[in-house]
Structure 1
């Protein structure tokens, strides 16, 4: 297995450790030494372990770290009642939680007493591939999102997902406040259980499209395409604001061939996920690697306060989804 791709005065090395999967098989997790990945201790007596479930792993980083298919942390969420979903956990710090989940054709997830999908967090789904129906089973609101679309919802929104496409669906999920703040299962288990679910809005029958405004006003989820975002010109960087709350900011960003962003840093932890092209990132701070190469599907985790500059050295555009939590740019650069 190859070490993460980065170039600096000293090359990064990696170590491998063996862990058991939920099926009892052995898997290998590769941890770059240079990134100093911290594993948050898991306390068996904590309230997060009271339910019959396995807690999602929490990879957290001290320095900028490249996350690839070779070193990503994998986890199987759910049970027979809720459905099981394969997660690739990109970061789960005390400020930001991000993962990619995959649903096979015909796949779906719901909830169960042990795996409840209602959290004290703002969330964004960025559809990387395929078509997904995102459903609030408490109200019946259903959003059909395709590749390149986003779905945003705030705390206390129950949510289910169904693969409505002919192939797999892959979704990049951002979540803040994160599980480390008690906003996930620790919070969900304290909420009244949703026993009756709706997968369509009863109020729409006999009233659509005449009562469009009333139904829109009652919506708990927002479906956004690129035509719906708020645009910003940050030097060469084209920035589409998907959401910006007191807890979470998510943007879609683009650099044309030969362009570079301004040097920037965030008020909290951040993640850059490349969806198109070949991107280089310069991270001038710290003693570790400072020149990174990302290919589509790879991410760079950037801890709070670290500066970085995105550089497109290729002859084609790059596109990326970037999240930071909390806040956006440091030093009052968010205006």
Structure 2
């Protein structure tokens, strides 16, 4: 399959992105793996998609498809067991459903389905492909020709050198104990854990308790979210048209920079979503 840029769903106002309306895309090559994409949004600031790997599936790089980008990335595992390797260093990290992986720009990466069920991974990517950070950027990098999937240099020195291994990581596993947690300042009805907060990307997971809401907020960057569970309502008072939206699991939502918004849980049980904001900043 010849390389071609992925589609760019763009929005100019707060927008509900139902799962059945999400843009589909297929990329890769037979010898390096084929990947299903569900692209929710790809603005000038942020790229949000879900990608899928079937049991036994993987993606690696080829000369045409170089998996090294000029962007910070968070990969949140929705389902399955996902392995992510840096073939240049031999690092290998494994994340299961509910866990995430974070890496910065200029990190080669290969992905693997290491389980018996389909893998689905939510990905945030910033700066986005619209800024030339994907294919065009990757073609400027020297190709890795000898892929490694193990840190052989640590054999015979483990776990004594675990500290140095953590310090040299380019791929960071993000489990609940690794997140930066906060409680909603205004309502105490929601809590958020950050996977990353860099100059390029803020990404995290928010949980809203039954019958509660968040305070009103706005950001200096575009925000995209993906609903994990529950019924999530979004109030956007300055939208000019529709200001109240109801979202279900697998739905997405886009909020442009500077637009005030707040989240409500109007259903049964906890409402939970993952979000990305770009350019990066601390949420207010």
Q: Same fold (TM over 0.5)?
A: yes
Partner residue in 2 for 1:108: 58
Give the secondary structure class of the aligned counterpart of 2:21.
Answer: coil
Q: Does 1:313 align with 2:266?
A: yes
Alignment match, 2:236: 283
Distance 1:316 1:274 in 2: 14
Q: Is the 8 A contact 1:137 1:160 kept in 2?
A: yes
1:324 partnered with 2:274:
no
| Counterpart position of 2:126 | 176
Contact 2:79/2:118 (8 A) holds in 1: yes
Q: Structure 1: how far apart are the matches of 2:198 and 2:44?
A: 17
1:328 and 1:273 map into 2 onto residues whose CA distance is 19
C-alpha RMSD of the superposition:
1.3
Write out the 4+ residue segments of structure 1 that deviate beyond 2 Å after TM superposition: none
SS at match of 2:83: strand
State the TM-score, normalizing by the size of structure 2: 0.96
In the alignment of these two chains, the number of paired residues is 281
Matched ranges for 1:149-164 at <5 A: 149-164=99-114
Task: Show CA shifts across 1:235-283 (max 9, x none).
Answer: 3220111100000000111110110011111111111211011111111
Residue 199 of structure 2 contacts residue 281 of structure 2 at CA under 8 Å; is this kept in 1? no
Shift of 1:313: 1.2
8 Å contact kept, 1:277–1:296: yes
- 1:315 CA displacement: 2.8
Per-residue deviation, 1:327: 2.6
For structure 2, the 5+ residue unaligned runs are none
Deviation at 1:108, TM superposition (A): 0.5
SS in 1 for 2:193: strand
Query: What residue number does 2:142 align with?
Result: 192
Which of the residues 186, 194, 202 maps onto 1:241?
194
SS at match of 1:61: coil
Please state whether the residue corresponding to 1:203 is helix, strand or coil.
Answer: helix
Larger RCO: 1 or 2 (CA < 8 Å, sep 6+) = 2
Structure 1 gap ranges (5+):
1-21, 23-51
Residue 274 of structure 1, aligned match among 227, 234, 237: 227
The alpha carbon displacement at 1:77 in A equals 1.2
- Structure 1-normalised TM-score? 0.82
User: Which one has the largest radius of gyration?
Assistant: 1
Superposition pairs of residues 254-273 of structure 1, within 5 angstroms: 254-273=207-226
* Residue aligned with 1:59, SS: coil
